[in-house]
């Protein structure tokens, strides 16, 4: 698999990542190498194998949906880039 | 005082040979003097450390002290610490101060440990050399032209240079064991789920596991004890009861212990001098009664390829939370929401993190999911099943932690795949969720070599016991880098 410049920018858009055009050729080369490595998986036939998501086969633990700790909004918003009146401020979304 | 290991520090504090404040001030002074060379700390918390040391001294005086009361430690900068910056080695979190403590931080604090500061690391724990840190590379105390390994390179270098007797780390593909090997110290990655991931900044959640660095297996057991155990705030926390690790360690007998040596751990790309040191270490274990024999784990060859699908896939999902809205870096003057997302992330993340987000996004994208992500999950089962089956035949698996000793700074930064192969012997252990430890096992050309021991699920006590018996019979773990002895 070889990654082209256009592929890098298309995936970068999906990831909402701005990448300077000058760095695209290096990324294309690196990602192609990584996919070559990854494709060594194809040496093995896995048609009859079930995928494994959790190494200990644990199931998702559930609990009752009851209110517990209360979030301290001021403490959480103290690290936000921009807040006003307890709200997170972002560029205008709806005109 | 700095030359004492963690158990010796603990004993000296209990006896009152010196106070925690005296020790803490001495280590802070040592960090101030030496860490300019090594760059192993991102943030030193002198004020907080002295205050915690004084509180510990009061408990020691009142006879209310536990084994870790007043013992200085450092946290990898991936663990959230309330009121103390947590950067994760990234510009993205350069000014981030967490509103809460990670469970690991909380439990070690409750046990009385004194936090000296936060250690340097590869950005978001992605790297094997500590060169991807926004705060610059860490240097190996054995040779400052060389890397300490990664991603927990700061913790490893700080313990190796005796800046602190113990430190925390995290291990997603080898990030505790490989730096421990390259810095000549002991590093333990517990079973997946043994130590809570709560408040530990997520990289690849199905692989991430917190663990410890120290000089000896005994020290590692002492640190692990309060950290381990169920935490309802971590959805994959293991409910299994936590044994008394020191007691299990002390009662470990190597007589008849079956050690499997996977031929794949000694395969292509291994430095012969590293293999030779590890083979000699295995002979030492054999001399203590263990029964080594060669085994074969052919699916291990799938570890690195499948890991570089699964870890980037999980990282691309986990790191989507960094969007410039609620915390972390936000770009200047965003034109609109998409511009804000893209530029905040483009500016906040370094090249290796971006590479992994791109790979992860690609393998999860429409049309590629089955060929990459699903295929990798199937390979993961083959690897896990093969390792699990091996533990029916052997008690412990052994081999070199890393295929080579510490490499030179810049040696592998141009080729990510060469860097990734640094973890060829450690990644399979994460995919299977097993515990592993690296212990000093000799030198090759003056640089430390690590012996990796892998145990069955939740057999940290036995793993520590095997490491402890080995350390009783050898003094590799007592060797110190001359420039920072």
Write the CA distances from B34 to B5, B26, B41, B161, integer angstroms.
18, 12, 11, 9
What is the least distance, in Å, from the CA of A80 to any CA of chain B? Answer: 4
The strands making up B447-455's β-sheet, listed across from edge to edge, are B41-44, B114-119, B72-76, B166-170, B210-214, B186-189, B436-444, B447-455, B396-400, B258-262, B291-295
Predicted local confidence at residue A1, as pLDDT: 66
Q: Phi/psi of residue B37, each to 5°?
A: -75, -40
Pairing of strands B396-400, B258-262: parallel
Neighbouring residues of B214: CB distance < 8 A, sequence distance ≥ 6: B5, B6, B159, B165, B166, B167, B185, B186, B220, B222, B223
Give yes or no for a contact between B467 and B439, defined as CB atoms under 8 angstroms apart: yes
Q: What tokens were used for A67?
A: 């209110």
DSSP class of residue B370 equals I
Domain limits, chain A: 5-43
The Cβ of residue B153 has, within 10 Å, a number of other Cβ atoms equal to 36
Q: Phi/psi of residue B438, each to 5°?
A: -115, 130
Q: Which residues of chain B have pLDDT under 70?
A: none
Closest residue by Cα to residue B431 from B392, B376, B383, B363 = B383
What is the least distance, in Å, from the CA of B197 to any CA of chain A? Answer: 15
The total number of residues shown for chain A amounts to: 95
On whether any CB of chain A is under 8 Å from the CB of B357, the answer is yes
Closest residue by Cα to residue B451 from B177, B137, B102, B129 = B177
Round the CA-based radius of gyration of chain A to a whole number and report it: 22
- Cβ–Cβ gap B358/A27 under 8 Å: yes
Nearest to A79 among B236, B327, B363 (CB): B327
- Cβ–Cβ gap B334/A79 under 8 Å: no
Catalytic residues of B: 76, 151, 175
Q: What is the distance of C-alpha B154 from the center of its chain?
A: 10
Interface with chain A: mutation pick from B354, B355, B364, B382, highest number of A CBs within 10 Å: B354
DSSP class of residue B84 equals B
On whether any CB of chain A is under 8 Å from the CB of B340, the answer is yes
Assessment of whether the complete model's pTM goes beyond 0.90: yes
Write the CA distances from B100 to B22, B51, B120, integer angstroms.
29, 19, 20
Predicted local confidence at residue B107, as pLDDT: 98
Pairing of strands B166-170, B114-119: unpaired
Write the CA distances from A15 to A10, B266, B321, integer angstroms.
9, 39, 11
Residues 436 through 465 of chain B touching chain A, CB cutoff 8 Å = 457
Stretch (H or E) spanning A83 = strand A83-84
Stretch (H or E) spanning B343 = helix B337-348
- Cβ–Cβ gap B342/A18 under 8 Å: yes
Helix, strand, or coil (residue B295): strand
Pairing of strands A83-84, A87-88: antiparallel
What is the least distance, in Å, from the CA of B455 to any CA of chain A? Answer: 14
Domain limits, chain B: 6-260+393-484
Nearest to B327 among A33, A61, A80 (CB): A80
Nearest to A16 among B328, B342, B457 (CB): B342
Euclidean distance between the first and the last CA atom of chain A, given in angstroms as a whole number: 43
Where b means 16+ CB within 10 Å and e means fewer, B263-292 reads ebbbeeebbebbbebbbebbebbeebebeb
Q: Residues B119, B123, B127, B131: is their CA dihedral positive or negative?
A: negative
Which residues in A lie closer than 8 A to residue B433 (C-beta atoms)? 54-56
Q: Give the Cα separation of A67 and A69 in Å (integer).
A: 7
ipTM of the complex in this document: 0.96
Strand pairing partners for A9?
A: none
Write the CA distances from B478 to B56, B216, B244, B286, B405, integer angstroms.
28, 9, 25, 21, 18
CATH level 3 topology of B6-260+393-484: Amidase signature (AS) enzymes (3.90.1300)
Nearest to A27 among B309, B346, B355 (CB): B355
Strand pairing partners for B187?
A: B213, B438
Q: Number of helices and strands (H, E) in chain B?
A: 17, 11
Query: Mean pLDDT per 10-residue run, chain A (95 residues)?
Result: 87 97 95 96 96 87 87 92 96 82
């Amino acid at each position: 698999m070889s990654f082209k410049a256009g592929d890098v920018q298309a995936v970068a858009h999906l990831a909402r990542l701005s990448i300077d055009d000058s760095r695209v050729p290096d990324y294309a080369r690196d990602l192609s190498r990584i996919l070559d490595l990854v494709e060594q998986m194809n040496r093995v036939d896995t048609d009859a194998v079930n995928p494994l998501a959790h190494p200990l086969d644990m199931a998702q633990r559930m609990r009752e949906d009851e209110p517990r700790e209360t979030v301290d909004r001021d403490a959480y918003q103290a690290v936000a880039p921009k807040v006003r009146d307890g709200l997170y401020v972002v560029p205008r979304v709806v005109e | 005082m700095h030359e004492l290991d963690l158990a010796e520090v603990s004993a000296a504090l209990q006896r009152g040979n010196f106070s925690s404040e005296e020790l803490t001030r001495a280590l802070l002074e040592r960090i101030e003097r030496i860490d300019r060379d090594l760059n192993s700390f991102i943030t030193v918390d002198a004020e907080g450390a002295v205050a915690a040391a004084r509180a510990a001294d009061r408990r020691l005086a009142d006879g209310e002290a536990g084994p870790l009361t007043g013992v200085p430690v450092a946290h990898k900068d991936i663990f959230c610490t309330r009121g103390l910056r947590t950067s994760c080695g990234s510009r993205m979190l350069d000014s981030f101060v967490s509103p809460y403590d990670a469970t690991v931080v909380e439990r070690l604090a409750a046990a009385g440990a004194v936090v000296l500061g936060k250690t340097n690391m590869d950005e978001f724990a992605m790297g094997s050399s500590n060169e991807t840190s926004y705060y610059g590379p860490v240097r190996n105390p054995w040779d400052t032209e060389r890397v300490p390994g990664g991603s927990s390179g700061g913790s490893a270098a700080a313990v190796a240079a005796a800046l602190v007797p113990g430190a925390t780390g995290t291990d997603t593909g080898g990030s505790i064991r490989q730096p421990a090997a390259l810095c000549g110290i002991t590093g333990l990655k517990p079973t997946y789920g043994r130590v809570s991931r709560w408040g530990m900044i997520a990289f690849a959640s199905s692989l991430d596991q917190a663990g410890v660095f120290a000089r000896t297996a005994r020290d590692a057991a002492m640190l692990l004890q309060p950290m381990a155990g169920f935490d309802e705030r971590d959805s994959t926390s293991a409910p299994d009861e936590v044994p008394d690790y020191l007691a299990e360690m002390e009662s470990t007998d190597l007589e008849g212990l079956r050690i499997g040596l996977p031929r794949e751990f000694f395969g292509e790309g291994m430095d012969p001098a590293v293999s030779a040191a590890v083979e000699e270490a295995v002979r030492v274990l054999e001399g203590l009664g263990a029964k080594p024999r060669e085994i074969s784990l052919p699916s291990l060859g799938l570890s690195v390829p499948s890991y570089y699908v699964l870890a980037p896939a999980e990282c691309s999902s986990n790191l989507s939370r960094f969007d410039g809205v609620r915390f972390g870096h936000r770009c200047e003057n965003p034109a609109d929401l998409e511009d804000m997302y893209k530029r905040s992330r483009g500016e906040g993340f370094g090249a290796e993190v971006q590479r992994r987000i791109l790979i992860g996004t690609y393998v999860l994208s429409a049309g590629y999911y089955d060929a990459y992500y699903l295929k990798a999950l199937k390979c993961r089962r083959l690897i896990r099943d093969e390792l699990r089956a091996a533990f029916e035949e052997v008690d412990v698996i052994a081999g070199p932690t890393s295929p080579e000793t510490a490499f030179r700074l810049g040696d592998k930064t141009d080729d990510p795949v060469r860097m990734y192969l640094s973890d060829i012997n450690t990644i399979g252990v994460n995919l299977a969720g097993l515990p592993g430890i690296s212990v000093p096992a000799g030198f090759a050309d003056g640089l430390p070599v690590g012996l990796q021991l892998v145990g069955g699920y939740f057999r940290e006590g036995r793993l520590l016991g095997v490491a402890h018996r080995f350390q009783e019979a050898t003094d590799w773990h007592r060797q110190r880098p001359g420039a920072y002895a």
